[in-house]
Structure 1
Amino acid sequence: MSTDTALPESARTVVIGAGAVGCSVAYHLSELGAEDVVVVDQGPLPVTGGSSTHAPGIMFQTSPSKLMTKTAHYTGRLLSDAGVYDEVGGIEVARSEERMDFLQRRVEHATAYGLPDPQLLTPEEVTDHLPLVNEDAILGGYYSPTDGRVDGVAALQWYIEGSDADFYGHTSVTDLDVAGGDVTAVETDRGRIECDRCVVATNNWGYQTGKLAGVDLPIAPVEHQYVVTEPLEELAGEAPATRVDTDALDVPGDRRIADVMGKAPSRPVGRDQDHSLYFRTHGDSLGLGSYNHESLSVDPDAMGKNTEERQASVHDFTDEHWERATHPDRDKSPKRAFEELLPVSEDAAFQATENGIFVFTPDGMPVLGETAAVDGLWTALAIWWTHSGGYGRILAEWMETGVPKLPDGPVDTGAIHVNRFEPHAGSKPYFVDRGATRYRQVYSIVEPNWQPEDHRGLRRSPFYHQQDELGAEFVQSGGWESAQWYESNADLVERYADRIPEQEGWQGVNRSPIEGAEHLHTREHVSLFDMTPFSSIVVEGSDAGTFLQRVCSNDVDIDVGKVRYSLLLNEGGNILADVTVVRLDEDEYMVTTGGGNSPGIHGSWLKEHAPETVSVTVEEGGRSTIGLWGPKSRLLLQRVTEADVSAEGFPYFSAKQLYVGEVPVVAMRVSYVGELGWELWAPAEYGARLWETLREAGQDLDVRPMGGGALESMRLEKGFRLWGTDIDTDTDPFAAGLPFAVDMDTDFVGKDALEDIRESGVDSRIVPLTLDDSTDRLLSGRPVTKDGETLGYVQAADFGYSVGESIAYTYVPSEYADPGTAVRVTCEGETCDATVREEPLFDPGREKILR
């Protein structure tokens, strides 16, 4: 319910922000039975003054991200059932051949992720739906029938009226009280509310709100333009229907914006991404939106409050950004591009204009979850109307059950987790610049493996300069500069030319045949791989073993010097992480995990769950690590150490603390590429010397550096999983083909859920596919079908240079998981026959890795 009475002195949960996201979180918490929820907002209700009520509400559901597509579809279904969503369909037009290829990808992603009836349209079919569009200006379009528009004010009213939470407008949050690492209260200009947990859903003000708790949230506000024309003769007779009488509401700023946004469209919503434009009808008027201007970043500290003259998240319209071409990638002004596409807009007068504000993160994805720095402080930020219902449901489930999910099952959270950001991401110059870049890319065609140009070289391993001298092609992940391949290995391409098929088109963008050559060289000789972005987590203390046994799915009660692969699971039995556990001493363990967002997410989870008797130290950047892999790796390692590294003296999945030359290392006999090899973990200051020692000793063995491209194809040949790609919080160990990483005789988090899954049966399983008659490298997110039915989609893919086949991994219903099952995969408009295979494809007897 909504109330203007005095604030309560306490609540279990306080949600800050009553826009689309905050209202969705409160509604879904109520739906799950949560009690004592309070929502506060600085503005009036329901027109708070945030972007939820100045936004035109257009919802295009299709995305390369499964999660973004699924949350959009859930939002549309939820709000359609509520009667506040206009399912008029959505059409994206193409004005270039490159965009038509992009729209084909739209169809493939929509098919893969289950959107109903995605279609490619001819120009004539586009204008059948949208007669105002100039047919001669386009090459075609993409049509999603369930796209549409949400009525923002009506939706907020529906959320408020349908929730058991108490809502308070005109309530500004002035501070967040934190004691002992826990959020304890929300301070407002109307009083203090003690609470157990708090949700930051302030979007444009997310950075400011986070600072109140001492947390740097990388939320960058940016402006974009929207105008609504005066009534047009061509739209006469189209009723300007409204669900809410805004005259009866307290509306901050220019009332005309709220009035026109309430008028429903009667035709499909549209966008012209080649010119960074979108459009919809408002009854008998036309709404025109533009990202086609330079990035207009707003200082996140300067986000203000509503005034009598202005809604807080609306700035004055800037004519120059409408009439001039200021976008660095667009050669026409918004005005001219619209006039070409929609000739009726030429010389049309405007009844309402705005520069509306919304936000971006450095990677363009939302921010959800509980912060590592403050227990009980949850975030729901950088979310648009399009996905607000879905993410509100996910966060509510996460808070109440510990399992982030939608009604059809758990979802993957690695790409949206608040703790995914690297330490430097909270720097305002950094995230504001990256937010501006993401704004620039909103409608751009972003190439596979695209890399930013700004803020590079932030994190460099001790091997960086040696790698640079070897011609490393660096890519950035988590701020680290990691080599994808090395130009110094170009001579290997000729050696292996007959085994490296050419990749044309989109599959070959930002790729190099050197990646294949490094793969094959490693299989035959020996290579060095820079693993420094991977992280070690030291767990020590008298109860360290007991703690790890509780959080690890496998039996980690191992002898000193032994290594065990395990999983961390949530309460639903879904995979939070895959880790390698090394017992270094009686009360000391080293847990290793991947790079990118892994240290922040996995390390903070371990810290959060550790008792006071256990110390958890995330050594991100504290060690420099080399993967030494290949059939000659033992010969090379033995040359530089006095330790016994023979098969008998140093068996697979064991560890030793030894010296490589003068360098102290923790050597683990594990291999992520399916070859004999070791991971050598050394203190960071010794890294450069470690690299030099191994390279100098291995010259006659043709030791080479290898990059991430070779690593990916090699690990897929062996069927090794990659967290955030093949496995995430949306799958369980049985579906992921990792039952060996689970010991049901031990007691661990998620065990009860796994027992239920095992008893009821596994619905889907991960399987490798190989293409029957093609060497094309498939791309992720492309549909896998059988007899016209979509079974799943490509999780990860590459060409397997050792097996000589194109490989893709996918989850399919269990009845289709048997080796030999014939399926089809569509990628870039081509449909190929493929076959389910038994894994691993390479060295199934493990002779190479165990030699």
Structure 2
Amino acid sequence: MATYARIIIIGGGIVGTSTLYHLAKAGEADAMLLERRDLTAGATWHAAGNVHTQSAYANLSALQAYSLRLYDGLAKEVGQDVGSHVVGGFFLAQTKERMEEFKHLAGKFRGLGLDYELVTPSEIKTKYPLLHVDDLVGGAWDPDEGYVDPYSVTMGLAAGARKYGGTIRRNSQVDSIKRLPSGHWRLTAGEEVFECEIIVNCAGFWAAEVAEMVGTRLPITNMEHQYLVTEAMPEVKALGYELPMIRDCDSQYYLRQEGQGLLLGPWEQDCRMAWQETKGRAPWSFGQELFEDDWDRLADGLAAIYKRIPALEHAGIKRGVNGAISFAPDGRPMIGPMPGVPGFFVACGFLGGIAQGGGIGLAMSEWILEGESALDLHFIDVARFGDWATKEFARERTHEILPLRYELIYPALERTTGRPLKTTPIYADLIAQGAVMGQAYGWERPLWFAPEGVEPKDAPCFQRPNWWEHVGNEAKLMTAGCGLSEMSSYGKFRVSGHDAQAFLNYVGSAKCPPHAGKVALSLLLNARGGIVGDITIENSGDGSFYCVGATLGVALYQRWMEGHAGGFDVQIDNITDHYAALGIAGPKSRAFLNALSDGAFDDFPFMTSKDVEIGRIRCKAIRISFSGELGWELHCPMVIQKVLFDAIMAAGADHGLVLMGARAMGMLRLEKGYRSWGSELTTEVTPHAAGMGRFCSTTKDYIGRAAVDAQRKEPPSKRFVTLEVDPAAPPCWGTEPVSRDGQMIGYVTSGGMGWRIGKMLAVAWIDGTGIAPGDALEVQVLRILYQATVAADPVYDPKNERLFAKD
């Protein structure tokens, strides 16, 4: 007979144990954890235990700050001392470029309410007298850096889980998983059989193998990482206090005190996949074990550390710790419901599992019990990867990012490995035209176009990068004539079935277009009224609907729609890979398209669609424009996109056609007050806060309507505004603090140049109480305050005369 639990967690590392703890504490009386050996066996037991709050992502910082508070409280809650040492930490800068990054981060963390102080080399030396600092430009100080004992923390969480009713079964290695006709899962673990409604895959090194048991895949790469601990050092002992943490970002290492010695952790430049003989697969028998020390691979890193702390020259090595860590292709965790596999959650791929474990456990319990996490976590959602993220792609990308663990994270930074992967038929043509490509959800798409004589390559920086003026020229030339943009990476869905219209009315905030050839913009909302996504819905006239959404949200959108399709006779097909799209916009776009289609674009109102013939190609034209200019999207089967592109390019010279990349489009939308998914449109933002209440029906029922209606009567205090920023300011890239009369009221979510109006712009998320157009605010960019003025949206073509031209 099977042992039943409503929720079964696979894996007893810190993340799995934290998830059980939070489920039980939230009142889930029927949750069980299965661990194949002992708790912490795998990666947790040998982790360095470093805990910090700072992250490039605001909500990951929030989760890590929660972990700190949780661990500090475990001693009181369950009587488990976790060996917590909050000693603060320095980030070292050897170059002006690194110090500029710290200035950028200091503004970001101030906007998030976190402490992050810029310091001089002498100030670093005062707190860490063993350091050689003569070659440093400066650094940053985080007072919340520290470390814990990973084993003790995990055992404390396990004690808490048991206290609140959770069950832990050790020595229960899951061998197989099967879906039952009831929709439940059956798991076998040796002679034991278990049954559950929900599985949570926290299997660490073995997460990919567990995913394969349910017919899905995870792009995880297991890599070796070694640190070492020295013998006691008299220089350390003589100080009489515990030294701060150190992260030397330019030499790529971390170090901290361990007892009376030091723990040294260089990030391997010659990085190596773990268990190479089995192509990265960990043996199921692997427990609390380590790989052989490999000092040669640490030679450069250790040399940098020994130069930084001369006293190490006389220190002996107490032990080496060469263990494995699991990487996702972008180095961020993978959590959430697995797309296409109902009742199967994932929490794996943790580089900072100790720092993140507490907060991730909380987020997972919220997701499982309430259907979503309180914080928007799309940037670590497992849905950001699809079938395109193969094992080889993951391996290549991991070998790029591991040696650069503390690389300079410039705005708009693009990775180079594992590319190209997903390309459209016009990829080579765009490259020939000078396209500089970026990667989004596996797709290659043009970011900007280098004119003749200009190297088609990004040179990223925190000021105006090398592509800045070229992007501006694309925007201005389109505004004077017409522009072509590649839009094929956008998510595309065919929604069909007897209840297709009723379904889209239920999941979308706007009324689904009831007539053929009509188009609507609709928001996907959660029960709190938070924005899951936005989609364009076109009534195709055959009982089906053609829906278009954000590139990076395609799997998340599909998962959301499928998760709410119960009770509807509806079919949701992801057809992204099968259909291409080109955007044509600008004041001359109608004349241009008419010349190619025998006048098909004359009688063509805004937010409508029709089938047209351009050259030899029949395509669907949708009149909609993200640039705010007169424009259309042309959708056709992927296999004939090149013929359509060739016809357009052949006639383009006579109509002032310019090729535009995604960066130009991203800036053009700022002038129109259009919000972007992932930047402004998140699950923490409601339609009224985003200025999109007009897209929410007052006559039909839909998910989140109660929350939307409540805010019609009492508008939210926090909202988005567009700011005109001092033109002398560097660009706002996001998270820059916004203040009024010296009091911080919010932060920037995105920014850029308004090329049509000649002004620097930023979108800010602020406490909007008493804020009106014309009010003076300040934006802190790279630690300098610049004046900003609240603008009335939209700042360009406020009456939409260009958008609605000839309607």
TM-score over 0.5 (shorter chain):
yes
Find the aligned partners of 2:139 and 2:731 in 1 and give their Cα distance.
26
Please give the secondary structure, in 1, of the residue aligned with 2:515. coil
State the shift of 1:680 in Å. 0.7
- Equivalent residue for 1:270, pick from 223, 243, 246: 246
Distance of 1:791 and 1:228 partners within structure 2: 45
Please tell me whether residue 374 in structure 1 is matched to residue 374 in structure 2. no
Give the superposition deviation at 1:556: 1.2
CA–CA distance in 2 between the matches of 1:292 and 1:275? 11
Counterpart among 394, 400, 412 of residue 449 in structure 1: 412
Return closer, same or farther for 1:510/1:571 CA change in 2, 3 Å cut-off.
Answer: farther
Q: Compute the displacement of 1:296 (Å).
A: 1.4
Alpha-carbon deviations, 1:762-811, whole Å to 9, x = none?
13001111113426322222222233333222211111111111111111
Query: Aligned to 1:682, what secondary structure does the other structure show?
Result: strand
Q: What stretches of structure 2 of length at least 5 have no aligned partner?
A: 76-81
Partner of 2:78: none
- Aligned positions of 1:422-821 closer than 5 A: 422-425=386-389, 427-488=390-451, 506-509=462-465, 511-585=467-541, 587-595=543-551, 597-611=552-566, 613-642=569-598, 644-646=600-602, 649-758=603-712, 761-774=715-728, 776-815=730-769, 817-821=771-775
Contact 1:181 1:374 in 2 (8 A): no
SS in 2 for 1:831: strand
CA separation of 1:392 and 1:759: change in aligned 2, threshold 3 A:
farther
> Does the Cα contact within 8 Å between 2:18 and 2:158 map onto a contact in 1?
no
Does structure 2 conserve the Cα–Cα contact (< 8 Å) formed by 1:275 and 1:334?
A: yes
Conserved in 2, the CA contact under 8 Å of 1:137 and 1:340?
no
TM-aligned CA deviation for residue 840 of structure 1: 0.7
Select which of 14, 20, 35 maps to 1:20: 14
Counterpart contact for 1:765–1:817, Cα < 8 Å: no
More off after superposition, 265-274 vs 752-761: 752-761
| Structure 2 match to 1:399 | 368
- Given that 2:486 and 2:582 are in contact with CA atoms closer than 8 Å, whether structure 1 keeps it comes out as yes
Segment of structure 1 superposing worse, 676-685 or 434-443: 434-443
How far, CA to CA, are the matches of 2:719 and 2:182 in structure 1? 40
- Which position in structure 2 is the counterpart of 1:100? 99
Q: Where does residue 294 of structure 1 map in the other structure?
A: 270
**2:46 aligned residue (54, 77, 82):** 54
Deviations 1:254-313, CA, capped at 9 Å, x for gaps: xxxxxxxxxxx9332221111111111122121111104311122565212456xx724x
The answer to whether the Cα contact below 8 Å between 2:131 and 2:308 also exists between their aligned partners in 1 is yes
Matches of 2:186 and 2:463, distance apart in 1:
52
Q: State yes or no: 1:390 paired with 2:359.
A: yes
Distance 2:182 2:760 in 1: 50
Mapped to 2, the partners of 1:33 and 1:717 lie a distance apart of: 48
Q: Which residue does 1:212 correspond to in 2?
A: 213
Contact map agreement 1:463 1:530 (CA 8 A) in 2: no
Report what 2:310 is aligned to: 343
Residue in structure 2 matched with residue 82 of structure 1 by the alignment: 74
One-letter amino acid of the structure 2 residue matched with residue 748 of structure 1 = Y
Which amino acid is the alignment partner of residue 56 of structure 1?
A
Q: In the alignment, which residue of structure 2 is the partner of 1:329?
A: none
Q: Which amino acid aligns with 1:74?
A: Y
1:147 to 2:145 alignment: yes
Aligned counterparts of 1:698 and 1:232: Cα–Cα separation in 2: 72
Aligned to 1:35: 29
User: Quick one: structure 1 residues 579 and 339, their matched pair in 2 at CA, closer, same or farther if it must change by over 3 Å?
Assistant: same
Contact 2:252 2:404 in 1 (8 A): no
Deviation, structure 1 residue 489: 7.3
Structure 1 unmatched ranges of 5 or more = 1-6, 240-264, 324-332, 406-410, 492-502
Q: Distance in 1 between matches of 2:189 and 2:460?
A: 59
Report the Cα offset of residue 53 of structure 1: 1.8
Q: Deviations over 1:650-685 (max 9, x none)?
A: 111111122222312111110000000111111112
1:249 is aligned to none
Q: Does 1:281 align with 2:262?
A: no
C-alpha contact 1:219 1:361 (8 A) present in aligned 2: yes
Output the amino acid matched with 1:52. Answer: T
Matched, 1:362 2:329: yes
CA–CA distance in structure 1, aligned partners of residues 394 and 10 of structure 2: 22
Moved more, 157-166 or 94-103: 94-103
Residue 681 and residue 213 in structure 1: after superposition, are their counterparts in 2 closer, same or farther (change >3 A)? same
1:183–1:377 Cα contact (<8 Å) kept = no
Residue 696 of structure 1 and its aligned partner are, at CA, apart by 2.3
Deviation digits for residues 184-241 of structure 1 (CA, Å, limit 9, x no counterpart): 12221251110000101122222122112121101111121111111111233789xx
CA deviation map 1:299-330 (0-9, x unaligned): 565212456xx724x3221011122xxxxxxx
Answer yes or no: is the 8 Å Cα contact 2:12–2:38 preserved in 1.
Answer: no
Letter in 1 for 2:472: G
SS at match of 1:135: coil
Q: 1:106 to 1:180 in 2, by over 3 A?
A: farther
Name the amino acid aligned to 1:747.
Answer: D
Cα deviation, residue 643, structure 1: 5.8
* Structure-2 change in CA distance of 1:382 and 1:505 (3 Å): closer
SS of 2:118's equivalent in the other structure is strand
Structure 1 residues 32 and 8: alpha-carbon distance in aligned structure 2, compared to 1, 3 A threshold: farther
Contact between 2:422 and 2:443, CA under 8 Å: does it hold in 1? yes
> Structure 1's 172 and 756: CA in aligned 2 closer, same or farther, altered over 3 A?
farther
8 Å CA contact 1:820–1:835 kept in 2: the answer is yes
Decide whether the 8 Å contact of 1:483 with 1:708 is kept in 2.
Answer: yes
TM-aligned CA distance change 1:761 to 1:634, over 3 Å: closer
Measured at CA, do residues 189 and 510 of structure 1 come closer, stay the same or move farther in structure 2, by a change above 3 Å?
Answer: farther
Cα deviation, 1:476-500, whole Å, max 9, x if unaligned, reads: 2222121122234789xxxxxxxxx
Equivalents in 1 of 2:357, 2:712: separation in Å?
A: 34
Give the aligned residue type for 2:498.
S
User: Residue 136 of structure 2 aligns with which residue?
Assistant: 138
Q: Please, which of 117, 120, 140 is the counterpart of residue 119 of structure 1?
A: 117
Counterpart of 1:146 in 2: which secondary structure? coil
Deviation, 1:744, is 3.2
Equivalent residue runs for 1:802-841 within 5 Å? 802-815=756-769, 817-841=771-795
- Sort the Cα spacing of 1:375 and 1:127 in 2 relative to 1 into closer, same or farther, 3 A: same
On the 8 A contact 1:235/1:283 being kept in 2, the answer is no
Separation (CA, whole Å) in 2 of partners of 1:669 and 1:466: 25
Whether the 8 Å CA contact 2:499–2:569 is kept in 1: the answer is: yes
Per-residue displacement from partner, 1:49-91 (whole Å, max 9, x unpaired)?
A: 2222211211232222112211111111222222433222121
Distance across 1 between alignment mates of 2:183 and 2:479: 51
- After TM superposition, the score normalised by the length of structure 1 is 0.89
Q: Which residue of 2 aligns with 1:413?
A: 377
Deviations 1:338-383 (A, max 9, x none): 1111122213112221112112111222111111221100001123
Contact 2:203 2:348 in 1 (8 A): yes
Aligned residue identity for 1:282: E
* Counterpart contact for 2:513–2:538, Cα < 8 Å: no
SS at match of 2:336: strand
